[in-house]
Structure 1
Amino acid sequence: MDEDCIFCIISKGEDKETEILKQDEELMCFRDINPAAPHHYLIIPKVHIVSCLCLQWYHHSLVERMAEMGKAVLLEQGVSDMTDIKLGFHIPPYTSVNHLHLHVVAPTEHISHYLRYKFTPGERFVEVDYFQKILRNSQPHSELHSCCPL
């Protein structure tokens, strides 16, 4: 845990203003404080991982569980069209909090015109399916980035 990280504070239950929509032993979901669309949620691991660049090949199941929780929350919140969603990570330095968080956004057609660039795949944003392929194809003991001692 990082004592100064707002997401670590939330994951410990110390932020009373954040409404937790879903959680288990490993993950937690809450609304994005600056929503880009009617449904904009964040899925975080309870352990402190700096960013998606810290993930290694063996984290593919963590990312899968994060995506599954995101889809489950969308369904619970009344979103039925799973083809009109965005699931992905912002890539540093385009992250506002240095704690791994998956953006779950729906419907994509309602993403604010002024925020669409933040969720367009490229140097700022990587969709979860594409990122999963990268993780699965990386070699054991290879590193995407050496920012975390995992």
Structure 2
Amino acid sequence: MAGGEGSPAAAAAAAAEGSEAGKGGSYDGKCVFCRIARREEPGTALLSSEYEDLTCFRDCRPGAPHHYLVVPVEHMGNCKTLKKEHIPLVKRMMEVGKAVLQRNNFSDLNDVRMGFHWPPFCSISHLHLHVLAPASQLGFLSRLFYRINSYWFITAEQLIERLQTENAAS
């Protein structure tokens, strides 16, 4: 897509013209994650991602020594709105999370928690993957907020399994 419709150059040109065309997919100017992904939110450093449709940045309220958010540049609803065709997206989000951890000298991928808040327990309605490491060092509140098998959090693996199962049944 280099130089194409979703490229940074096209996005900059669209912004200069005052239009949203070329920014790739839907855009919600009121959504903080949309603004961060498009570098419109000052003070947030984006971490490199191997995919131009995904971005990553540190969580402003870290629950672990390494706490990153991986978000699609295109505005997407929460994880409950995903369908089977979104499984590759979720897998790529996980790849970005693992790569960011490794670039930040965290290599024990067995001590990582990756997942999504389950609605209605989402503070921001833009799809975002929490990447927390080391999971063994989660604080008291973080252990509650990012607890496996809870009402308010689903791991990325559980989400993928759920998407595969739901779609197989329908």
Q: Answer whether TM exceeds 0.5 for this pair.
A: yes
In the alignment, the residues of structure 1 paired with residue 141 and residue 147 of structure 2 have an alpha-carbon distance, to the nearest angstrom, of: 12
Does residue 9 (structure 1) correspond to residue 35 (structure 2)? The answer is: yes
How far is the alpha carbon of 1:102 from its aligned partner? 0.1
Q: State the AA in 1 paired with 2:35.
A: I
One-letter code of the match for 1:136?
Q
Return the alpha-carbon distance in structure 1 between the equivalents of residues 44 and 75 of structure 2: 18
Please give the residue correspondences for 1:66-145 in structure 2 after superposition, counting only pairs within 5 Å: 66-121=93-148, 122-139=150-167
Larger mean CA deviation between 109-118 and 63-72 belongs to 109-118
Whose helix proportion is higher, 1 or 2? 2
**Residues 18-47 of structure 1: CA deviation (Å, up to 9, x unaligned):** 011123321000000000010000000011
* 1:134 Cα deviation from its structure 2 partner: 1.1
**Whose relative contact order is higher, 1 or 2, with alpha carbons under 8 Å and at least 6 apart?**
1
Unaligned runs of 5+ in 1: 143-150
Q: TM-score, normalised by structure 2?
A: 0.80
State the TM-score, normalizing by the size of structure 1: 0.90
Identity within the alignment, %:
40
- Cα distance, 1:95 vs. partner? 1.2
State the 1:12 CA deviation. Answer: 1.1
The alignment yields a C-alpha RMSD, in angstroms, of 1.4
Query: Larger Rg: 1 or 2?
Result: 2
Query: What code does the residue aligned with 2:84 have?
Result: W
4+ aligned runs moved over 4 Å, structure 1? none
Question: Which whole-Å CA distance do the structure 1 matches of 2:134 and 2:67 have between them?
Answer: 9
